[in-house]
Amino acid sequence: MNNNLSNDREFLLPVSGLFIGLSLLVATLLNWLTWPSWGVMLKPDFVALTLLYWCTHKPNRVGIGMAWMIGIISDVADATLFGQHALAYTVLAFGGIVLNRRIQMFNFRQQTIQVFPLLLSSYLVYALVSWQMHGVIAWQFFIGSVTSAALWTPLTVALQNLRNTRHNPNEL
């Protein structure tokens, strides 16, 4: 009973806008890392993961508008088709906001199962844009959604631990 109470209070803990912004900035920098040619298809989308985390844990602070702005910035930074990331992140944020209470009621393993279709829908947007541009859908687009889903639990634990730096365990 006490564990459920602490989980409920965890949702109520405030988080600063600076912390949200810094986490999204770090995720953007991780997305810009170069990968070897064999590892590009395994590359997870760190921005999508972090954005989905904030949309499921703080949907009133991070939403579709923020996802769209981050997507536009990612499009400009990656020199990709303008709006591709914005559309994918907007679809992802919508799913995260709609399913936020459902995702939070599960343990981490079950959350990963719930988050995977959301990430897959985001990668489906990338595949559809590629299909419109090049006439081909490459199956490699979808491997990144598997690796991104596999990183859901470590990212969630890391962000929750960074958020909970209070000294007194009884303070809210």
Inter-residue contact 22 to 62 (CB < 8 Å)? no
For residue 154, give its domain range.
2-163
**According to the model, what pLDDT value does residue 138 have?**
75
- pLDDT tens-digit series, residues 99-147: 999 998 999 999 999 999 999 999 999 889 888 888 888 777 788 899 9
- pLDDT tens-digit series, residues 37-90: 878 888 899 999 999 999 999 999 999 999 999 999 998 988 878 889 999 999
Instruction: Specify if 145 maps to a domain.
Output: yes
- Specify the residue for token string 């009884």: 170
Model confidence at 5: pLDDT above 50: no
Residue 168's pLDDT band, with cuts at 50, 70 and 90, is: low
Model confidence at 2: pLDDT above 80: no
**According to the model, what pLDDT value does residue 13 have?**
67
The rounded percent of the chain whose pLDDT value lies above 90 is 53
Average pLDDT over residues 161-167: 71
Half-sphere exposure of 15 (CA within 13 A, CB side): 25
Instruction: Specify if 170 maps to a domain.
Output: no
Instruction: Specify if 80 maps to a domain.
Output: yes
- CA triple 60-63-65, angle to 5 deg: 130
Q: What is the pLDDT of the chain when averaged over all its residues? A: 86
Total domain count for the chain?
1
Question: pLDDT higher for 12 or 130?
Answer: 130
- Specify the residue for token string 């600063």: 16
Instruction: Specify if 169 maps to a domain.
Output: no
**According to the model, what pLDDT value does residue 6 have?**
45
- The answer to whether the Cα torsion of 30, 31, 36, 40 is positive or negative is positive
- What pTM value is reported for the model? 0.85
Instruction: Specify if 157 maps to a domain.
Output: yes
Model confidence at 169: pLDDT above 70: no
| CATH number of domain containing 22 | 1.10.1760
- Helices (DSSP H) in the chain: which residue ranges? 2-12, 17-31, 46-57, 64-78, 84-98, 100-104, 108-134, 143-150, 152-163
Instruction: Specify if 168 maps to a domain.
Output: no
Instruction: Specify if 172 maps to a domain.
Output: no
